[in-house]
Amino acid sequence: MKAHLTKRYWFSASHRLHSDAMSESENQRTYGKCNNPYGHGHNYALEVTVGGPVDQATGMICNLSELDRFVEQNVLASFDHENLNVLPRFREVVPTTENLCMEIYDILKNGFAAAEVEKVRLQETTQNSFEYAGGAEIMR
Amino acid sequence: MDPRCGFVVDLKDLKEVLNREVLDALDHRFLNKEVPEFFHAIPTTENLAIAIWNRLQSKLKAAELHRVRVYETTDLFVDFYGEE
């Protein structure tokens, strides 16, 4: 009996969308006000979906406190109240929410072993969100 | 979809089954003691989603059951799609 559990976490971070591969005018044309020099912030809602058989003994897919601990130590501790642009991961990768979503998926997929990480959904505002469930190469 | 009415399912029918099979049995109940599924299984939200699926699956004739989602809190929910 496979089931899917989704837990939502919250963190706040700032970013500036700017690519060194593009000229100033091209950056402004591409990113608009998101290219403003000093960046801007978001209260991100992160939804992590894990799946697997429901353990007969515990009635659970995995121990939720293990998932909470992993996300807190490996995701929230890295990104909450940070300027994404100065983090090593985003020195050469534009910290769009697409790239952040894939990065978080990668961290969870490679590090969390108690259940299968199926999907990450990252909501940037109430009007937009991004989902990643693997299946494509993440640019390094 | 029924081309005459444009519905997948008449919501009145769904509501009737949902009320009878799920809400009447679970609402304001102590799951461990009052709901047969949990006399022996632990009433986690995973097992609750499966129990609700099983209750609906056998009684819902008007449409195919696609998914059951049970919210435990606004930030935590379980989805069950039957046998996958």
CA distance B61 to chain A (A): 22
pLDDT in tens, B4-40: 888 999 999 999 999 999 999 999 999 999 999 999 9
- Among B46, B47, B53, B77, the residue to mutate for chain A (most A Cβ within 10 A): B46
Alpha-carbon distance B2 to B8, whole Å? 6
| Closest Cβ–Cβ partner in A6, A9, A59 for B77 | A6
pLDDT in tens, A46-95: 999 999 999 999 999 999 999 999 999 999 999 999 999 999 999 999 99
- Which pLDDT value is given to residue B25? 96
| Closest Cβ–Cβ partner in B49, B75, B76 for A3 | B49
ipTM of the complex: 0.89
| Closest Cβ–Cβ partner in A3, A8, A64 for B79 | A3
Q: How far is CA B64 from CA A84, A125, B12, B61, B67, in A?
A: 45, 34, 15, 7, 9
CA distance B3 to chain A (A): 33
pLDDT in tens, A13-51: 999 999 999 999 999 999 999 999 999 999 999 999 999
CB spacing of B78 vs A6 below 8 angstroms = yes
List all residues 6 or more positions away from A29 whose beta carbon is below 8 Å from its beta carbon.
Answer: none
**Position A136 pLDDT exceeds 90:** no
pTM: 0.92
User: A1, B70 in Cβ contact below 8 A?
Assistant: no
- Which pLDDT value is given to residue A84? 98
To the query of whether residue A81 is one of the catalytic residues in this protein, the response is yes
User: B79, A4 in Cβ contact below 8 A?
Assistant: yes
